Structure 1
Amino acid sequence: MRYFIALVWLVNGLLCKVCGLVPRHEAIVARILGEDLAPALTVAIGLAEIVMAIWILSRWQQGFNAVVQIVVILTMNLLESIVARDLLLWGAWNFVFALVFCGLIYYQEFHRHAAA
């Protein structure tokens, strides 16, 4: 499960944002932070997501990492739902998928990992 979670961050960061294979991501950043800064900030966000994937795989401060992931996901999705819902892949349902992903992260770190 840890590898799946890291893969989600890696794919979104590297392929969708750094490589620009999903232009919708830059359009969302442009809507929230402005057209002029969108290209550079989209790449920066993508690099941060790649770092998150590496952090997950490193298992360093796992509990703190899980909390950071959950906070980032919920903050990002709430903001996107308010400002750029029309650009989201699943519209209002995006937030539901974000909640499910957060639940998976929570389970992995605080229940499954704790029991292991």
Structure 2
Amino acid sequence: MLSKIITYIIGLVWLVNGLYCKILNQVPRHQEIVTCILGESYRPLFIILIGCSEVAMFLWIVSRIKTRINAILQITIIATMNIMEFLIVPDLLLWGKYNSLFAFLFIVLIYVNEFHLRKEQNPVQHVF
């Protein structure tokens, strides 16, 4: 039960960031980050593509299909994105360079949820 609740919380993080922050453009800081990393001419297309990808990640998370692959992909995306942002645009991050701490904690939550909590609840379901 705890794993299921954590799974939905993780999914909601992706949904809010994709739909609310990027697609609906309710957090302009995200637009600025994409502009600084990719350039102004690519921003409109990539902000929508990134937002749609995050919504797709939400759908994949709540579907509970191939959960291990999903968790590994989430961890990789979050780590990569946060390293880039830390190096290129730390001034645009919500908590500045401390953003990497929250990203690390989120990665730990994803890892523990998938590889420890789910394992304890359903040991047979952990087939790639």
Superposition TM-score, scaled by structure 2 size: 0.90
The answer to whether structure 1 residue 53 and structure 2 residue 31 are counterparts is no
Matched residue, 1:108: 113
Matched residue, 1:97: 102
What is the CA–CA distance in structure 2 between the aligned matches of 1:83 and 1:42, rounded to whole Å?
Answer: 17
Query: Per-residue deviation at 1:40?
Result: 1.4
Superposition TM-score, scaled by structure 1 size: 0.99
The answer to whether structure 1 residue 88 and structure 2 residue 93 are counterparts is yes
CA RMSD across the alignment: 0.4
What is the CA–CA distance in structure 2 between the aligned matches of 1:34 and 1:12, rounded to whole Å?
Answer: 20
Aligned length: 116
The C-alpha deviation readout for 1:16-41, integer Å capped at 9, x for no partner, is 00000001001000100111111210
Query: Per-residue deviation at 1:96?
Result: 0.3
Which stretches of structure 1, 4 residues or longer, exceed 3 Å deviation after superposition?
none
Letter in 1 for 2:99: N
Q: Percent of aligned positions with the same letter in both sequences?
A: 48
Matched residue, 1:10: 15
Letter in 1 for 2:52: L
Unaligned 5+ residue runs, structure 1? none
Give 1:77's match in structure 2, choosing from 74, 82, 85.
82
The C-alpha deviation readout for 1:35-71, integer Å capped at 9, x for no partner, is 1111210111000000000000011100000000000
Computing the radius of gyration from Cα coordinates, the structure with the larger value is: 2
The C-alpha deviation readout for 1:62-107, integer Å capped at 9, x for no partner, is 0000000000000000000100101000001000000000000001
Q: Is the partner of 1:92 in helix, strand or coil? A: helix
